[in-house]
């Protein structure tokens, strides 16, 4: 078979106009490529469009949660609010000319690979179809709200809603509000409402490790300085202490008996000891599992919030929900007007329920029957020219997912070059390479802090930590250059 080496114009379909899809779209436009971004909603932004709850902030310093190519001088504080981040993504997409390339209201319900044509056909919820040589799945991780299974939930007479489906008509000021769940979202909502609600009950099963972090606002003079000199922004984004803390954090995750995790635990325990005065409340808030086993909570305000007179921390098991409020296992009733379900997301769905059919009709549902997985979080055997951003087994933790997505894009772009140069028409990781990766990953994952015995969304359905189990540097190294021997690149070369 002769190898075809003429360069090839490709058509790209990006699924999702959140942070990752915007990144892919902009990078492809910059390279002069033909790209269409399909977004099911009527606005871009993903996470930051859907989550509008009071207190929403990104827990990565604002200047570090931006694209590397688009620093931003306007952040009002060290940590940005969700609304500000949404505005940043909208401005960025406009600035880079991406908006005309986004098809809003286009939910991708199917992707079917045609081996003869070496291209994908996308089917949309509105009935249309489109074809593309390459699919970039940027459909998000924390995207499908998880509703709690509590008997009687539907009977609640007030307003009950998931935190990612905020009900603007709900009573908050001077009202009796319950918040179920104490991940980052529940903690942020309680912090924000503690001085607004007449009574605020925070329902939590297991207390969180709360990492104290600085919080300060930028003055107009500082913003003006950022505008004049982006080196000042870079100094925050690339601050060596910040990156050292990320590296320490991933060391902590991967070395459960190491000094880094011990230091994190000590910091959080000192925070608990010095911040919470009432010994009974302090014990209620003391975690009984390893720090960072669940996503570590970064907060400058939660311990203050729960000590306010209107706030009550409830640790009992919820027996059920009644029209008046939440009934606890000991019979106590918390009468409520509003109930916020900060109960997280189905973090194992990724692009599903979209039906994805690859080579020979291989289905993604079958490939992911045990767990969602991808070779280095990027691609799946039998699904050629199909690449994921923030896909399964990628790094999760207290660092910027924008940096993760940019590194993944750098890797994917190198694979795309092979297609652009016409060296192959179809590229996918080999089964052997993927199996080897998964074997090593699962073995390492079991020994991370995520596998140290707590329940969390980091675990897959079999109890194995679902994420990247090695250091941040190992991820950066892996993304720097694909190992092409692990890919089936020549099988589909043009005759
Ligand atoms: C409350 C909350 C707080 C967070 N805080 C942080 C933080 O502090 N730091 C951090 O780094 N990360 C944080 N994250 C993670 C955050 O999700 C990522 O940082 C980032 O926004 C993910 O971008 P994404 O584009 O991968 O996914 P998303 O933002 O989820 O965007 C995916 C997009 O794809 C669209 N889509 C999905 N399926 C389809 C389909 N079939 N067809 C068409 N369109 C589709 C969706 O509508 C959405 O617009 C947080 C997440 C949440 C929920």
Each residue's pLDDT tens digit, 148-181 = 999 999 999 999 999 999 999 999 999 999 999 9
**Yes or no: is domain 153-220+251-341 CATH 3.30.160.270?**
no
Distance CA 66, CA 473 (A): 20
For residue 400, the ligand 1 atom closest to its alpha carbon is 11
pLDDT value of residue 493: 46
For residue 354, the ligand 1 atom closest to its alpha carbon is 41
pLDDT value of residue 7: 78
Judge whether residue 5 has pLDDT over 80: no
Judge whether residue 81 has pLDDT over 80: yes
Class level of CATH domain 11-144+346-490: alpha beta
pLDDT value of residue 168: 97
Give the residue whose CA is nearest to atom 27 of ligand 1.
140
Task: Provide mean pLDDT across the span 371-389.
Answer: 98
Q: Is the pTM of this model over 0.75?
A: yes
Give the residue whose CA is nearest to atom 35 of ligand 1.
16
Task: Provide mean pLDDT across the span 95-99.
Answer: 98
Strand 134-137 with 11-15, pairing:
parallel
Ligand 1 contact, 400 CB (< 6 A): yes
CATH 3.50.50.60 in the chain, residues?
11-144+346-490, 153-220+251-341
Judge whether residue 1 has pLDDT over 60: no
Ligand 1: residue of 401, 406, 407, 472 to mutate (most ligand atoms within 8 A of CB) is 401
Distance CA 215, CA 212 (A): 10
Each residue's pLDDT tens digit, 214-269 = 999 999 999 999 999 999 999 999 999 999 988 888 889 999 999 999 999 999 99
Q: What are phi and psi of 417, to 5 degrees?
A: -55, -35
> 489 falls in which pLDDT band (50, 70, 90)?
confident
pLDDT value of residue 8: 79
Each residue's pLDDT tens digit, 40-76 = 999 999 999 999 999 999 999 999 999 999 999 999 9
pLDDT value of residue 125: 97
Residue 247 or residue 2, greater confidence: 247
For residue 390, the ligand 1 atom closest to its alpha carbon is 26
Ligand 1 contact, 20 CB (< 6 A): yes
């Amino acid at each position: 078979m002769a190898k075809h080496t003429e360069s090839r114009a490709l058509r790209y379909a990006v699924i999702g106009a959140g942070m990752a899809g915007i990144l892919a779209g902009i990078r492809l436009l910059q390279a002069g490529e033909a790209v269409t971004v399909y977004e099911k909603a009527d606005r871009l932004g993903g996470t930051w469009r859907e989550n509008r709850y009071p207190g929403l902030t990104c827990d990565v310093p604002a200047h570090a949660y931006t694209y590397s190519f688009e620093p931003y001088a306007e952040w009002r504080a060290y940590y940005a609010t969700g609304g500000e981040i949404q505005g940043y993504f909208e401005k960025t997409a406009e600035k880079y000319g991406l908006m005309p390339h986004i098809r809003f209201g286009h939910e991708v319900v199917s992707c079917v690979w045609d081996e003869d044509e070496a291209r994908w056909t996308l089917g949309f919820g509105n009935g249309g179809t489109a074809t593309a040589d390459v699919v970039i799945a940027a459909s998000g991780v924390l995207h499908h709200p998880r509703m709690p299974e509590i008997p009687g939930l539907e009977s609640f007479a007030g307003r009950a809603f998931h935190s990612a489906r905020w009900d603007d008509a709900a009573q908050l000021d001077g009202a009796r509000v319950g918040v179920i769940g104490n991940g980052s979202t529940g903690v942020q909502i309680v912090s924000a409402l503690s001085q607004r609600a007449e009574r605020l009950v925070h329902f939590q099963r297991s207390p969180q490790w709360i990492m104290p972090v600085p919080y300060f606002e930028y003055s107009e003079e500082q913003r003006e300085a950022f505008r004049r000199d982006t080196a000042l922004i870079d100094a925050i984004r690339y601050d060596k202490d910040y990156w050292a803390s990320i590296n320490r954090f991933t060391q902590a995750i991967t070395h459960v008996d190491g000094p880094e995790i011990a230091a994190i635990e000590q910091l959080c325990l000192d925070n608990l000891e010095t911040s919470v005065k009432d010994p009974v409340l302090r014990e209620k808030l003391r975690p009984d599992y390893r720090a960072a086993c669940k996503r570590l909570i970064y907060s400058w305000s939660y311990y203050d919030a729960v000590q306010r007179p209107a706030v009550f921390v409830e640790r009992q098991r919820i027996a059920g929900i009644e029209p008046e409020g939440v009934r606890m296992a000991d019979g106590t009733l918390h009468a409520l007007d509003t109930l916020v379900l900060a109960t997280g997301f189905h973090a194992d769905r990724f692009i599903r329920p979209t039906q994805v059919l690859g080579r020979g009709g291989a289905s993604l549902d079958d490939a992911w029957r045990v767990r969602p997985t991808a070779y280095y979080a990027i691609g799946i055997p039998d699904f050629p020219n199909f690449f994921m951003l923030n896909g399964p087994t990628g790094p999760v933790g207290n660092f910027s997912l924008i940096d993760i997505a940019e590194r993944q894009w750098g890797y994917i772009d190198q694979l795309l070059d092979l297609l652009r140069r016409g060296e192959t028409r179809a590229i996918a990781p080999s089964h052997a390479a993927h199996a080897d990766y998964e074997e090593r990953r699962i073995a390492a994952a079991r020994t991370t802090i995520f596998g140290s015995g707590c329940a969390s969304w980091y675990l897959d359905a079999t109890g194995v930590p679902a994420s990247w189990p090695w250091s941040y540097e190992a991820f950066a190294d892996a993304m720097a250059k694909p190992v092409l021997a692990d890919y089936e690149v020549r099988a589909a070369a043009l005759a």
